[in-house]
Amino acid sequence: LSSLAKAREIADLLKAWIEEKQFFLTEAVAPLPRDSFVRPLVPREGGIR
């Protein structure tokens, strides 16, 4: 997510769903592939806004 405010909004919504038993955490469905390559996120100049 590119926006800290949006990330917090989504986190609050997810928390509410979990507390209201509308969203359930379960065991992993499938492992992530080990042979794939993940590029690191490079922070932009200026830091957090």
CB atoms closer than 10 angstroms to residue 46: 6
Pair 7, 15: CB distance under 8 Å: no
Measured between alpha carbons, how far is residue 37 from residues 9, 29, 31, 32, 33 in Å? Answer: 30, 21, 15, 11, 9
| pLDDT score, position 48 | 62
Between 1 and 45, the more confident residue is: 45
What is the per-residue pLDDT across 3-49, written as a single tens digit (0 to 9) for each? 888 999 999 999 999 999 998 878 888 888 889 887 888 887 776 65
3-state SS string over the chain?
Answer: CCCHHHHHHHHHHHHHHHHCCCCCCCCCCCCCCCCCCCCCCCCCCCCCC
